[in-house]
Structure formats: structure tokens, C-alpha cells
Amino acid sequence: MRRDTQHVLLLLLGGALVRIAADDTYLRYVRPSHRWWLLAAGAVMIALAAAALVRDLRGVGSADGHSHGAPHSAWLLLLPVLVIVLVAPPALGADAVDRSRGIALRSTEIYPPLPPGPLELSIGEVVERSVWDEARSLDDRAVVLTGFVVRRGPDTLLARIAIACCAADARPHVIRLLGPVGAPPPDSWLRIRGTVAPGSATRANGYTPDLIVEDVAVVPAPADPYEY
């Protein structure tokens, strides 16, 4: 591979990082706090590629006056650029939940008391409290949840994907919906008000709590689809 081709590939890769970090596209892959790391890494790649191109154009090359070439695997640097430009994958959704059978991880935090009235909570917090909170603070409590639809046999689930660092360590949190939810298609987003059924998250059902649905509204997918 020619030296100038290597520099252009590095330039394109850096540009791809800057491109996804410039808007909300990067939220499909990493936490919001990683945006500045992506921008910094992309800027460094662009600067290095530009400096190398300028150096070569000025005739400052290798000492023996010819290129030694590079392994063909260097062309693989072009793949992430093509993926982002041509077929940028969506955020993880119902398919990822279907492939996973993970259970709620026990939190090391002590669950604080909840305020009165309907609560707008993350699905992850509802699952963790339903399984591990010895005070049973969510039993018969009205909550408002937002998530995407997953179909598992006859059941309709509401789910969100939680990530610690990036999409590679994703794990699903799911709640079974009981009541008049209709037949929303998988991956459609719903905002639901309902009541958590006491003692419904058991080992037998994979620690999946039940939500007795009172109200359902279809909503657009959020800019940041993950929980943290």
C-alpha cells in the first residue's frame, strides 16, 4: 500500500470518529461521557494524517527513497468508515434482548426511600428493586416507564438496554406487561403508566417483574436509547 493511501485511510478513520461524535450517532455505541474522547481521538488522527501528507508532498520521505509497502490488512481500516457512512447500525433493540437471558445484577447500593405519588423510573431500577430491595418499596406502586417492545412467546415485554461503557457490555432489563397493551410491533417505543405486581420477579421467570398496565402511549425513540 502506498504511503499516501495509508495517510488517506487514517484521515477517513479520524473523520468518521468526528462525524459520529458531532451528533447523537455515537450514543448507539458508547456512553454520553465518551463524546469528548471520540472527538479528541478523531482530531488526533486527522492531524497526524494531514501532517504526514504535507510532509510527503514536500518530498520528505524515507531515507532509501522508496516505500516498503504495508500489509494488505491495513485496508481493514476502511471498514469502520464504510459501516458508518453506508450502513450505520441502529442501537441495540429487541433482537439483542431475545439473544440474552441475563438476570438482574445485584446492586451494592442501599435503596433509598421513594417519594409518594407516581414515579418516573428507569426500567433497570424497577427490575433491581423488584428483585433485591428487601423493603419491597415498589410493591403496588404506580410507576411511569419508557422502553421498547419485545415479544417473547405470548408475552409482551417492555425493555431497555443498560451499558456500563459501550454496546459491547450491554445487558437487557425487561418487564412483563399485563393488561390492555394492544399489539405494538417489536422495537416500537412506549411510555406506560402502571403498577408493579408484588413478588412477581422470581427465579422461575428470570427475575422479570410484572407491570399491571393502566395507560399506554406510543412515543418516538429517544436520542439516547440506553440506560446507565
Average the pLDDT over 51-68 and give the result.
Answer: 66
Same domain, 75 and 138: no
Percent of the chain with pLDDT over 90: 29
Burial class (CB in 10 A: 0-12, 13-18, 19+), 150: buried
Same domain, 127 and 46: no
Q: What's the pTM?
A: 0.69
Lowest-confidence region among 43-47, 59-63, 162-166, 199-203: 59-63
pLDDT value at 50 more than 60? yes
Q: Where is the domain boundary, 22, 52, 86? A: 86
Same domain, 75 and 166: no
List, for residues 72-110, the tens digit of each pLDDT value: 565 666 666 666 666 566 666 776 666 655 555 555 457
Please tell me the predicted confidence (pLDDT) of residue 63. Answer: 45
Same domain, 198 and 101: yes
Q: Where is the domain boundary, 68, 86, 104? A: 86
* Total number of domains in the chain: 2
Same domain, 169 and 73: no
- Identify the CATH number of the domain in which residue 144 sits: 2.40.50.140
7 φ, ψ to 5°? -65, -40
Segment holding 41, helix H or strand E = helix 35-57
For residue 10, give its domain range: 3-86
**How many residues are listed for the chain in this entry?**
228
Same domain, 76 and 58: yes
List, for residues 126-136, the tens digit of each pLDDT value: 999 998 888 88
The residue among 41, 35, 33, 39 whose CA lies nearest residue 164 is 33
Same domain, 57 and 170: no
Please tell me the predicted confidence (pLDDT) of residue 176. Answer: 96
List, for residues 164-199, the tens digit of each pLDDT value: 888 777 889 999 999 989 889 999 999 999 999 999
Q: Where is the domain boundary, 25, 51, 86? A: 86
Same domain, 65 and 148: no
